[in-house]
Structure 1
Amino acid sequence: MRKKDILLIGGGGHCKSCIDVIEEEGIYSIKGIIDLPEKVGANILDYPIIDIDDNIEKLLIEIKYAFITTGHIKSPKLRIRLFNQVKKAGGLLPVIISPKAQVSKHAKIQEGTIVMHGAVINAGTKIGKNCIINNLALIEHDVIIGDHVHVSTGSRINGNCKVGNNNFVGSGTVINQEVKIADDVIIGSGALVTKNIEESGVYVGNPTKRIK
């Protein structure tokens, strides 16, 4: 089967991780990367940086598929802007799933989301648009994850949890069963979340406490 051409948007470290998953999945052929003007002409893992995001609309006339490969640590604002820009231009944002991940056939994952190596997504889970489910993350049964969320490396989200939109779940975080988390929350690495988080802000520690 002929691979589908795809454009990557964002050329940082997360882009390298996405490239590895895309190559392993074997469905898409990377035609180029969009990044900052000063980086045009450089290469990332042998793929050229060909243009800047001002020209996304023009590029998507010929390359229908695009994927947001900009990372998300503190704020998802850039990823959201680029996602909306691709949608407005009529681009198609696929779901990318590593063949080294385990995803239940009873899980639902929306457009523009990537599931990376070693991640596990169990039955009944629903994951929104433009999310990053990073390496070795575990999403247990019946979890609901909103749009524009990054579940970072080695995190554990237990059954029947609900994670709101625009959230960052730091590496190694554990969220206990049935916990609900509001929108616009940052949870620091290694945190233990034992009860609902009802307000946006930054939370750290074991158990978690709000610091901002």
Structure 2
Amino acid sequence: MSTRKGRVEFEDDNGRMVRYDRHANGGGLVSPDARASAEAQIARTAYVEAGATVGDRTRIGAWSWIDRDVAVGSDVVIGTHVHVGRGSRVGSRARIGSRARLGAGVVVEIGAHIEEDQIVDDHAVVPGRRRTRRGDQGLAA
């Protein structure tokens, strides 16, 4: 492993050289082929892989891994030791608890909550939380 000016390089299990840049806010490892907002906070031991995007004010906890081609919206909170599987989509204001595992191609709708230790199967949809309007308390007429 080598480092220079915020860049970390090492050989992966397949013998390929992989590179990451340290994110300015938290020091997390972000692929040069990913886009992470400067307003996001990415823990020093978190990874954001190539093709991924991370929105404004999103927080990614320690030891979490945002896999390839994942889109994470704004104001998302991702706990520690979380894996968001390849090609998944996480809507704005979602909350993902520590140690959760999301399979490939998962859709987490806006405002959804995933509990700690929850496993979400490949291609599942996690519904968002419905906001009630004033006067709408879910009562039948």
Q: Give the TM-score normalised by the residue count of structure 2.
A: 0.76
1:4 and 2:3 are equivalent in the alignment: yes
Q: Which residue of the partner structure matches residue 15 of structure 2?
A: 45
Determine if the alignment matches structure 1 residue 159 to structure 2 residue 139: no
Aligned position for 1:27: 7
Letter in 2 for 1:151: V
* Unmatched tracts of structure 2, length 5 or more: 18-26, 130-141
2:110/2:128 contact within 8 Å kept? no
Write out the 4+ residue segments of structure 1 that deviate beyond 4 Å after TM superposition: none
Is residue 111 from structure 1 mapped to residue 44 from structure 2 by the alignment?
Answer: yes
Structure 2: distance between partners of 1:139 and 1:188: 18
Q: How does 1:200-211 map to 2 (within 5 A)?
A: none
Q: Distance in 1 between matches of 2:6 and 2:14?
A: 18
Aligned to 1:193: 126
Distance change >3 Å, CA 144–CA 26, structure 1 → 2 = closer
Shift of 1:26: 8.0
- Aligned-pair RMSD on alpha carbons? 2.5
User: How far off its partner does 1:46 sit?
Assistant: 7.1
Give the aligned residue type for 2:94: C
Q: CA deviation at 1:95?
A: 2.1
- Cα separation, 1, equivalents of 2:77 and 2:71: 13
Distance in 1 (CA, whole Å) between partners of 2:110 and 2:16 is: 43
Alignment of 1:42-121 (within 5 A): 44-45=14-15, 95-121=28-54
Counterpart amino acid of residue 88 in structure 2: S
- Residue 28 of structure 1 and its aligned partner are, at CA, apart by 2.8
Q: In structure 2, the residue corresponding to 1:28 is in which secondary structure?
A: strand
Give per-residue Cα distances to partners, 1:3-47, cap 9 Å, x unaligned.
Answer: 539xxxxxxxxxxxxxxxxxxx982354x88xxxxxxxxx85178
Structure-1 separation of matches of 2:111 and 2:29: 27
Greater per-residue helix proportion: 1
- Percent identical among aligned pairs is 29
Gaps of 5+ in 1: 6-24, 34-42, 48-93, 197-212
AA partner of residue 45 (structure 1): G
How far apart are the structure 2 equivalents of 1:26 and 1:44? 24
State the partner residue of 1:180.
Answer: 113
The structural deviation recorded for 1:120 is: 0.5
What is the distance in 2 between the residues matched to 1:174 and 1:184? 18
Cα pair distance change 1:159/1:111, threshold 3 Å: same
What TM-score do you get using the length of structure 1 for normalisation? 0.51
Question: Deviation string for 1:63-89 (max 9, x for gaps)?
Answer: xxxxxxxxxxxxxxxxxxxxxxxxxxx
Query: Does residue 78 of structure 2 align to residue 145 of structure 1?
Result: yes
Letter in 1 for 2:15: L
